[in-house]
């Protein structure tokens, strides 16, 4: 009898489970069978709370996510593009080298800053591929404890919160200091096989923004350079202009002070820097024109002064390649294209500045003055052995 009684008492529980699986999914209320109110059949009958969730299937679209728009914006941005070269470059190795992982993996970024409990300032070994610049890269609570970011020049720049994420990954990998050290003690116009192109890396917005203060470019002796580009007071951080999730630039605030139909059309000066005399176009045009002039002079210097023609190919590293016979085609060996190896101190520092300027597509907004200074000084320096009268070209610093 005891066992039979126990079985009878357990029956409602079985029925309750069954009803939960087939009834609650359709919105029915299930009452406990041993609830006195249930047996009375009165209007006071109420459902007894059940600890387990309703059985599925659930409608995912019906689940409210408060930050769904931000997630959608991020998902469509370059930071989340898992198919991009920035995140696929290490697929064959199946791991991202430590020196690259800081900015090419959210996991590597947290490792570098010690947000995962590891030692800060270094990535502890390679990081698995497959990651992107994820939510935790910018929203980790530990970022509040990161108070400074170290730049390649050695500058320790103070930061607050998410600014640490932007500054860490958009500062480039080298600075003018590395260039100065590489060319020190070498004859200015003598090719040196020990010299190799020094790449400032990509998307160097933070390095551009801080200008001469960060020492990102090669600074010629006796010249002074603009420091951090201080814009209007409301524009004091990366997020002042860039949406943190889409990464797009909000142009409307610019129109408060600038009369233009796009950021690229904004001009910050009443004088021409590229010798055209045209001050109706955006300052970006002056920067692009002078950058083109500098690259042409780097090529002319290689051919006429060094006697070793050079070709630039931005689609493959190390970008500058040999063209020994001057036929306009990159020299090839069994191992592939031949990297340029006839650098002189003069050509190396000019090419470095050119690459730094062109590596930041937003240079005209981040620090146009510094960009124009680097270009002008590099052009003047190359113009000396080439016999080019830069003043006659109408260029300005």
**CA-based end-to-end distance of the chain:** 103
Give a yes or no: residue 201 inside a domain. yes
- The CA–CA distances, whole Å, from 281 to 42, 293, 361 equal 82, 18, 17
Q: Do residues 182 and 58 both lie within one domain?
A: no
Task: Give the pLDDT of residue 55.
Answer: 62
Domain that holds residue 18: 2-62
Give a yes or no: residue 78 inside a domain. no
Task: Give the pLDDT of residue 24.
Answer: 41
Classified as helix, coil or strand, 311 is: strand
Q: Last residue of a domain, which of 15, 39, 62?
A: 62
Give a yes or no: residue 41 inside a domain. yes
* Total domains, the chain: 2
Task: Give the pLDDT of residue 185.
Answer: 95
Mean pLDDT per segment of 10 residues, for the chain of length 397 residues? Answer: 42 42 42 44 53 64 83 96 96 95 96 95 94 96 95 96 95 97 97 96 95 97 96 85 94 90 94 96 98 98 98 96 96 96 98 98 97 98 96 94
With a CB cutoff of 8 Å and minimum separation 6, the contacts of 340 are 197, 302, 308, 310, 311, 318, 320, 321, 322
Give a yes or no: residue 47 inside a domain. yes
> Within 10 Å of residue 53's Cβ, how many Cβ atoms?
9
380 secondary structure, DSSP code: H
Give the residue from 295, 287, 297 showing the smallest Cα distance to 313: 295
Q: Do residues 235 and 366 both lie within one domain?
A: yes
- Cβ-in-10-Å burial (0-12, 13-18, 19+) of 211 comes to buried
Q: Do residues 197 and 50 both lie within one domain?
A: no
Alpha carbon distance 206, 168 (integer Å): 8
Q: Last residue of a domain, which of 44, 62, 80?
A: 62
Task: Give the pLDDT of residue 62.
Answer: 75
Give a yes or no: residue 317 inside a domain. no
- The CA–CA distances, whole Å, from 22 to 51, 54, 168, 302, 337 equal 17, 9, 54, 80, 68
Q: Last residue of a domain, which of 62, 78, 96?
A: 62
> Within 10 Å of residue 357's Cβ, how many Cβ atoms?
25
Give a yes or no: residue 391 inside a domain. yes
Give a yes or no: residue 323 inside a domain. no
Give a yes or no: residue 131 inside a domain. no
339 secondary structure, DSSP code: B
């Amino acid at each position: 009898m005891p066992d039979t009684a126990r079985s009878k008492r357990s029956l409602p529980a079985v029925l309750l489970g069954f009803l939960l699986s087939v009834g609650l999914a359709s919105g029915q209320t299930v009452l406990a069978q041993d609830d006195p109110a249930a047996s009375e059949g009165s209007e006071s009958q109420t459902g007894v709370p059940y600890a387990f969730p309703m059985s599925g299937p659930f409608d995912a679209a019906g689940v409210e996510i408060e930050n769904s728009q931000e997630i959608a914006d991020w998902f469509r941005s370059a930071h989340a593009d898992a198919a991009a070269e920035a995140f696929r470059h290490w697929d064959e190795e199946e791991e991202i080298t430590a020196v690259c992982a800081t900015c090419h993996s959210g996991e590597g970024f947290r490792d570098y800053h010690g947000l995962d409990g590891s030692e800060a300032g270094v990535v502890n070994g390679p990081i698995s591929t497959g990651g992107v610049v994820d939510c935790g890269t910018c929203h980790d609570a530990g970022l509040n404890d990161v108070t400074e970011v170290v730049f390649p020049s050695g500058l320790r720049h103070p930061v607050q919160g998410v600014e640490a994420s932007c500054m860490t990954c958009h500062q480039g990998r080298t600075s003018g200091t590395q260039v100065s050290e590489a060319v020190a003690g070498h004859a200015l116009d003598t090719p040196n096989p020990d010299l190799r192109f020094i790449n400032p890396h990509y998307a160097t917005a933070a390095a551009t923004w801080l200008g001469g203060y960060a020492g990102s470019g090669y600074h010629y002796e006796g010249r002074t350079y603009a420091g951090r580009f201080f814009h209007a007071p409301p524009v004091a951080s990366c997020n002042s202009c860039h949406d943190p999730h889409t990464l797009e630039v909000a142009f409307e605030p610019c129109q408060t002070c600038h009369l233009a139909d796009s950021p690229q059309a904004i001009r910050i000066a009443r004088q021409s820097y590229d010798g055209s005399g045209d001050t109706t176009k955006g300052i970006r045009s002056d920067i692009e024109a002078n950058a083109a002039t500098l690259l042409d002079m780097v090529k002319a210097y290689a051919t006429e002064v060094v006697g070793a023609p050079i070709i630039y190919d931005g689609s493959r590293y190390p970008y500058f390649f040999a063209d020994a016979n001057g036929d306009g085609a990159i020299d090839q060996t069994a191992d592939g294209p031949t990297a340029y190896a006839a650098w002189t101190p003069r050509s190396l520092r000019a090419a470095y500045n050119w690459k730094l300027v062109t590596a930041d597509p937003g240079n005209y907004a981040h620090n146009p003055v510094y960009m124009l200074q680097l270009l002008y000084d590099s052009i003047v320096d190359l113009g000396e052995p080439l016999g080019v009268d830069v003043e006659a070209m109408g260029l300005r610093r």
